[in-house]
Amino acid sequence: MSLLHPSSVGAPVALWFSNGVPVRLVHGSTRYRVIDRPQPVADGWLVTASDGSGRVSSFTIAPIGTGWELRSAS
């Protein structure tokens, strides 16, 4: 089940790194904490993260210009 509306794909994402891997992200007004080892993919990162209420989601995030964008979420 996707927690994000499909129109969110392509939306900007704020991404924080520690030791070269993502550890936190913000999409819209929701903060997520990365809870599993992020996986590098061809054009970005696949991360599993939890929001403040404990809901877990997987995100594919890719670089765009000087920032990051959401490619998929589930």
Q: Is the pLDDT of residue 68 over 50?
A: yes
Has this prediction a pTM greater than 0.85? no
Strands, DSSP E only, in 9-55? 12-18, 21-27, 30-34, 39-41, 44-51
Please write the tens of the pLDDT for every residue from 3-53.
555 457 888 999 999 999 999 999 888 999 999 999 999 889 999 999 999
Phi, psi of 7 (to 5 degrees): -70, -10
**What's the pLDDT at 1?**
38
What are the boundaries of each domain within the chain? 6-73
Confidence of residue 69 (pLDDT cuts 50, 70, 90): very high
Mean pLDDT value of segment 49-59: 93
